[in-house]
Chain A
Amino acid sequence: MAAPTFEVPKLTGNIDIPAIRPGATAHVKSFPAAAPIQEALGFPGQLVEDWHDKAIAKMGDLLDRYRSLRVFMDACVHCGACTDKCHYFIGTADPKNMPVARQELMRSVYRRHFTFAGKYFPSLVGAKDLTEETLQDWYTYYYQCSQCRRCSVYCPYGIDTAEVTMAGREILDTVGIGQKYTNEILSKLHRIGNNLGLPGPALADTLEGLEEDILDATGVPVKLPLDAEDAEIMLVTPSADFFSEPHVESLIGYAKVFHAAGVKWTLSTKASEAGNFGMFIGSYENMRRAAMRIRDAALDLGVKRIVVGECGHAWRVAYSFWNTLTGVGHGGTDPFSQQLQKQLDPNYPAPQHICEYTYDLIQHGKLRFDKSLNDHRVVTFHDSCNVARGSRMGNMPGGQFVIPREVIKAVVNNFHDMAEETIGEGTYCCGGGGGLLSDDLMEVRVKGALPRMEAFNNVVQDKQVNFLALICAICKAQFTKVIPYYGFDMSMVGGVHQLVSTAILLDVPEESAEESEASDD
């Protein structure tokens, strides 16, 4: 860990509301995207000359397209219920990181151009012209929001800052101001098929290596099939699962579960990414283009079921948007959507989360575990924001909170939740979501993790917790990087299916049986 160039907050045991420090993180800006990256997404390469009119026109377009945005612009009464709910405000004390202030950056311009009072008496209603300085403020503070939607839970009107942030980013992209981290990744996804830019041969080589590792470790020939045409299930998972620690441990866990279930499954080269950063920049067109890869792969492979791996925002896109984007589930009405709806097995949810899949097998007694294999771990679970507040699992309200915990409890003996107001619907973001998982935003990432670190530290102190279980690739990468700043070891971070992987019992084939099978062939 490089020495930080900023002050790391001290853990106090409480989530304290800080005294405001205006401009505290005004200097934290992520690198802008270069022209080729912008253009690959259909945006101008640099700030366009008529940026003012174009931005206002785009705002008008979005207000017409999304009625919710217009309601969010109109409905706020500045009650202040949201002010202390944002992890970035709590961690940075910058008042522009209060959700109401973040929204106000756009709302003041909205009033000026889209309301009667703002058009004729701007100073009376706090309406402001859109200046280049305002645009820069948008760029700074709409990229200090992880779109986690915690504030919207506490808003009496349900105003969703994430949607305002998405609109802000979409308008910025439209006039030629994009963020390098998110847009470079999205352009790689369009070009190569995943956020990493992992080409097919490298993916095949990586999976082959993992099969060897599992065989060495367990003696069981667990497979990680790629583009297998007779598969029933296609697993779509974040490409970080192929690449990083601890992500890969969960990938091994999924493979073991499929093996134990005796089901034919496959990964896909074309759909080698569950993540969809199109949502982060509020671009319907880019989100749809990314989601289409998954539909195309499902049609090509003829699979009956689509299961999504441990990725928070991917699950929101899959659960909440795939139906109308691509027809996975129901909703899409074009011929290919209808073809897919006929192809998918209606006995299972489409799509299905990997935790739902494993939970279902556990309920039916199809998996065997030795929980004591996880006895060196004392586990807590962090609800990922997009799963907690943007989706659901199973057929019960709150299933997205129950099911991952039930999976964990089936495979470990020692589990303790963090404080109630910091989990479930009120969960604090890891601090790296929504396109903020970039090295140039490390200061807001570390500070934004503060409330989660307080809650985590309390269970570490009180319950001797030593494992933070996650179901999101961004959460895994963020915490691995950030918890050392707070004095914890990065090995405390891992996946839910990493825990499953440790405890699951697989039948070891007898060598003689294997040999006789081989001679039969």
Chain B
Amino acid sequence: MGFEINGKTYETDEEGYLVNLAEWDEDAAKHLAIEEKVEMTPAHWEVINFLREYYNDYQIAPAVRVLTKAIGKKLGPEKGNSKYLYELFPYGPAKQACKIAGLPKPTGCI
């Protein structure tokens, strides 16, 4: 499974998540966002970039609280809440934003 953009192929798992994190680039993110019916805005990119930075440091996506706090600091306190994140990523910030960011799907009782 996978997709191809400008001659570059990206492998995905059965749920559409990138298999190889290192393959991720902005083109892949845009493609994954279209599949998720998410229209990317600068606010979406803030979230995606933060997720990737955090993953780089901790090998896991940030907890929702960690994410909301970071977004609140960057975009203003009125946006530092999970309601705002759900507006950006309606299927849930953890799973949907991780997919677009090229991170593995968070698992567990979430």
Using C-beta atoms within 8 Å of the partner chain, give the interface range for chain B.
Answer: 20 to 34
7 further interface pairs, Cβ-Cβ under 8 Å (given A180-B14, A275-B109, A440-B15): A196-B107, A196-B108, A210-B65, A213-B69, A243-B63, A244-B94, A477-B109
Tell me, in angstroms, the Cα distance from A184 to B37 when the chains sit together.
Answer: 27
A121 at the interface (CB under 8 A from B): no
Taking the closest CB of chain A, its distance from the CB of B36, in whole angstroms, is 8
Chain A contact surface mostly: helix
- When distances are taken between beta carbons in the complex, the residues of chain B under 8 Å from A196 are 60, 106-108, 110
- When distances are taken between beta carbons in the complex, the residues of chain A under 8 Å from B43 are none
Tell me, in angstroms, the Cα distance from A139 to B102 when the chains sit together.
Answer: 30
Binary interface profile of B, 24-40, with partner A (CB < 8 Å = 1, else 0)? 00000000000001000
Contacts A31-B15, A209-B69, A439-B95; A243 near B106 (Cβ below 8 A):
yes
> Is B66 a contact partner of A206 (Cβ separation < 8 A)?
yes
A509 at the interface (CB under 8 A from B): no
Chain B residue at minimum C-beta to C-beta distance from A208: B66
- When distances are taken between beta carbons in the complex, the residues of chain A under 8 Å from B59 are 199, 202
A410 at the interface (CB under 8 A from B): no
Q: How many residues of chain A are within 8 Å of chain B by beta carbon?
A: 42
Chain B contact surface mostly: loop
- Select which of A197, A205, A240 is within 8 A of B109 by beta carbon: A240
Taking the closest CB of chain A, its distance from the CB of B37, in whole angstroms, is 7
A487 at the interface (CB under 8 A from B): no
- Select which of A184, A238, A476 is within 8 A of B107 by beta carbon: A184
Binary interface profile of A, 318-339, with partner B (CB < 8 Å = 1, else 0)? 0000000000000000000000
Taking the closest CB of chain B, its distance from the CB of A473, in whole angstroms, is 4
Taking the closest CB of chain A, its distance from the CB of B75, in whole angstroms, is 18
Tell me, in angstroms, the Cα distance from A439 to B98 when the chains sit together.
Answer: 15
- When distances are taken between beta carbons in the complex, the residues of chain B under 8 Å from A19 are none
- Select which of A31, A201, A240 is within 8 A of B110 by beta carbon: A240
Taking the closest CB of chain A, its distance from the CB of B25, in whole angstroms, is 24
- When distances are taken between beta carbons in the complex, the residues of chain A under 8 Å from B58 are 199, 201-202, 205
> Is B65 a contact partner of A209 (Cβ separation < 8 A)?
yes
- When distances are taken between beta carbons in the complex, the residues of chain B under 8 Å from A209 are 63, 65-66, 69
Tell me, in angstroms, the Cα distance from A199 to B58 when the chains sit together.
Answer: 7
- When distances are taken between beta carbons in the complex, the residues of chain B under 8 Å from A195 are 107-109
> Is B82 a contact partner of A437 (Cβ separation < 8 A)?
no
Chain A residues in the interface with B (C-beta under 8 A): 1-2, 31, 180-181, 184-185, 188, 194-199, 201-202, 205-206, 209-210, 213, 238-240, 242-245, 247-248, 275, 311, 437, 439-440, 473-474, 476-477, 481, 490-491
- When distances are taken between beta carbons in the complex, the residues of chain B under 8 Å from A240 are 108-110
Binary interface profile of B, 88-110, with partner A (CB < 8 Å = 1, else 0)? 00111011000000000011111
- When distances are taken between beta carbons in the complex, the residues of chain B under 8 Å from A210 are 65
> Is B65 a contact partner of A439 (Cβ separation < 8 A)?
no
**Which residue among B63, B108, B109, B110 has the maximum number of chain A CB atoms within 10 Å of its CB?**
B109
- When distances are taken between beta carbons in the complex, the residues of chain A under 8 Å from B21 are none
- When distances are taken between beta carbons in the complex, the residues of chain B under 8 Å from A1 are 90-91
> Is B108 a contact partner of A194 (Cβ separation < 8 A)?
yes
**Which residue among B59, B86, B95 has the maximum number of chain A CB atoms within 10 Å of its CB?**
B59
> Is A473 a contact partner of B91 (Cβ separation < 8 A)?
no
Chain A residue at minimum C-beta to C-beta distance from B58: A202
Chain B residue at minimum C-beta to C-beta distance from A251: B65
- Select which of B86, B90, B108 is within 8 A of A243 by beta carbon: B108
- When distances are taken between beta carbons in the complex, the residues of chain B under 8 Å from A180 are 14
Contacts A1-B91, A196-B108; A205 near B15 (Cβ below 8 A):
no
Residue pairs across A and B with Cβ atoms less than 8 A apart, 21 shown, are: A2-B90, A188-B107, A196-B106, A196-B108, A197-B60, A197-B107, A202-B59, A202-B62, A206-B63, A206-B66, A239-B108, A243-B64, A243-B94, A244-B63, A247-B109, A247-B110, A439-B15, A439-B95, A440-B15, A481-B92, A490-B86
> Is B60 a contact partner of A199 (Cβ separation < 8 A)?
yes
- When distances are taken between beta carbons in the complex, the residues of chain B under 8 Å from A440 are 15
Tell me, in angstroms, the Cα distance from A509 to B63 when the chains sit together.
Answer: 29
- Select which of B15, B37, B90, B109 is within 8 A of A311 by beta carbon: B109
> Can you list the 9 inter-chain pairs with the closest CB atoms, starting with the nearest?
A195-B108, A473-B109, A202-B58, A240-B109, A196-B108, A244-B110, A243-B63, A474-B109, A206-B63
Tell me, in angstroms, the Cα distance from A440 to B16 when the chains sit together.
Answer: 12
Chain A residue at minimum C-beta to C-beta distance from B107: A185
Taking the closest CB of chain B, its distance from the CB of A211, in whole angstroms, is 11
